[in-house]
Each structure stands twice: as C-alpha cells, then as structure tokens.
Amino acid sequence: MLGARHHQRRYDGQLAVVTGASSGIGRAVALTLATRGAQVIGLARRRDLLDELATELAQRSPGSATEVCDVGDADVYRATLARLASDRGKIDILINNAGIDIDLHVASDQGDGNATTHEVFDINFFAAVAGTLAVVPAMVQRGAGIVVNVSSDTARAPEPGQGAYAASKAAVSAFTESVAHEVAPLGVHVHVLYPGWVPTAMGLSGPEQGGSLPPKMVRRTADGVAALVANRMGGPRTDINAAVLPLLAPIARIIAPVSYQKSMRRFSP
C-alpha cells in the first residue's frame, strides 16, 4: 500500500529532531526513527505525553529524549534547535510535524478570524520555516542532512471552512519545494510530506464526531506514514505522498471545474 516494507532504511548514529512528537504522526515517526537506530529528540507542548514517549524512545535508542517546546514561538524553537545542535554536535534530521487545525467559517460571526489565521500560520507554517532555516545552513556546510516538512492534501484541495489550515499547508508546500530545489545540489534533502487522512486527535472527523470518513484510498495510519517517511526521506523525490488520489484534485479542477466545485461545496457546513 505504502511500499514501506520493501526497504528498511537505517539511521544509526544520526540525531533526529521531531516536532509534534507527543501524539499522532509525530509520535509514530519518532518511534520509527528510534527503532531504525537514530537518537531522537521529541519536541511538543504536552509534558505528560512526552514523558510516556521518552520511556519508549530510550528503550529503542539510548540517548533519545523528549523536551517541552512550543514551536509556535519561533524564537524559542530556534534557540532549542541551536542548543541541541551544540550539545549533540549536529542535527542530521529535522521533522517539522507540529500542526493545528482551527476552522475558519467566514460567513458566520465566529470571533476574530484574523487571530485564528495568525495562530494557525504561526504553528503550521512559520515554525516550519524557522526550523528549516535554523538547521539547513549547517547541513549545507557538511554536505548532508534531511528536513521533512509536513503539509496536507487539503493544500491541494481546500474544503469549506479550512481557509486558514489549507493556506498554511499550501505555504509549507511552496516554501519546502523552493528550498529543496536550492539545496539539493549541495547534498541536503528537503521533503514535503502529504500524509493522506490519518485518524489522529487533530484529524478525527468520522461519524463519532458528526463527520464522515474519507474514501479508503486516502485513509492511512500513523505507523504506516511513519514507515513511509523513514524509507523515502533522503531520496531523490521532494514530495512524499502517502496517497495517490489527492494528486488528481488539481487535474479535476482544470478538466471539470464546475463538477469539482460542486463536489467540494458538499463539505460546506
């Protein structure tokens, strides 16, 4: 399905920093990389969940640890990465996974939409920018390194009420692709991950939450996405796509724009 079992790439002796590591995709990626030999530093805001993760990481990879860090505060995030690079010698891998999704319904009186958009961008986009810019120069000097920035298929096919989230993820995609083109000839691999639909705390929208499940062709598990990332990052392709179906959205928009618009507007609240 994801091609994750065909090649078990190892990361022995490498230091990986994973944001949003306390749950969901971030947690799965952190544990997968630790299993593959990396020393992993998991960053997130929730201390209780990080403590649970720290125990599992240390069992899989001695030297791994967790740390509370709000990546939405760019100065704090940059300082944390600088300290980790100094204490550990270098950062080989950075996974910018932390993200939030807050609905933005502009047709209703729902408070300060500008504040909502800024909050979403601070964590989803500006944190990824801050992290990337903090680690890439040293990677370029060494001629090696990996950055994975997590986007969303919503960036390719924005749904009603998802203006802030979709825009932030589209910005992540554009920024990452530009950086990838620049640093690829210098030995640094920068990727953008499109994880499909994963039933994480942020992504839950099934029948129990009053929503509906997406097609099976786009449903993925956190562990499956983590294995895909571990296998594909460092390879020649910038995009890491967990599902193929969303790739058709831009084509449908061009070939049958009216039908495409009608299908997307069915999601309107």
Distance CA 11, CA 39 (A): 9
Give the distance, in angstroms, between the CA of residue 42 and the centroid of all CA atoms in the same chain.
Answer: 13
Handedness of CA 137, 145, 148, 74 (dihedral sign): negative
| Per-residue tokens: 234 | 């460092």
CB 19 within 8 A of CB 97: yes
Minimal CA–CA distance to 140: which of 81, 85, 185, 175?
A: 185
Distance CA 26, CA 68 (A): 14
Active site residues: 165
**Sequence-ordered list of residues with C-beta below 8 angstroms from that of 79, at least 6 positions apart, any chain:** none
CB 8 within 8 A of CB 37: no
